[in-house]
Amino acid sequence: MAWAVVLVVGLVAGLGGPVLLRERASARYPVTAGDLAAGRAALAALVVVEPSASATYEREQFGAAWADVDRNGCDTRNDVLRRDLAPATLDVDGCTVLTGVLADPYTGERIAFARGEDSALVQIDHVVALADAWARGAAGWDLREREQFANDPANLLAVDGQANQDKGASAASDWLPPDPGFACVYALRQVRVKAAYALTVTADERAALDSALGTCATT
């Protein structure tokens, strides 16, 4: 009988290990029960439309990159770097971020940023990628609406450059952050943005977002 007890314990430990690790990781990014409930409701309300052929996406269709849409005198890239790096040091112009440290949400790593030849170590990610937005409804917007979307801080994060490149234009069905603890927050942000802009999802994407919300740790 002793071997049977050991076997059962081993199986439970083996099956529970990955779940426990995910729970511990998610606990580093807790969300409120209210935010999670709102996210689930918003996800349920998103219109599901399967992929179809559409006009080719071009970055220029969303206006000039990092336009100063909020008229604060600084371009959007530097606005986001200043928000997400701590501490961020600025040039004499009061806008250009020269140095800072990023606590990268996608990988869980800390990345030192210095403006110059290694600036690409930190990049600005569109949480809902522009190409994905184009295919999911933005193709029908006018240029002003697309430019506003491309520069909306609610859809922008400073992240590890390689993780951003790996993601590319992927939807949640094809890519989630390497750090599983951030999957919940990432999914909530995607859902909020898609709901705010009335963008659609595919069935696979909706399932992936729902699964990611299932990893949330609530406060």
Dist. CA 120–CA 65, nearest whole Å: 15
Closest among 153, 176, 163, 192 to 43, alpha carbons compared: 192
pLDDT tens digits, residue range 96-129? 999 999 999 999 999 999 999 999 999 999 999 9
Summarize pLDDT for 38-66 with one digit per residue, the tens: 999 999 999 999 887 767 899 999 999 99
Categorize the per-residue pLDDT at 27 as very low, low, confident or very high, splitting at 50, 70 and 90. confident
Bridge partners of 157, per DSSP, are 125
pLDDT one-digit tens code per residue, 121-170: 999 999 999 999 999 999 999 999 999 999 999 999 999 999 999 999 99
Tokens of 59: 């970055």
Q: Which residue(s) pair with 125 in the sheet?
A: 157
* pTM of the complete model beyond 0.85: yes
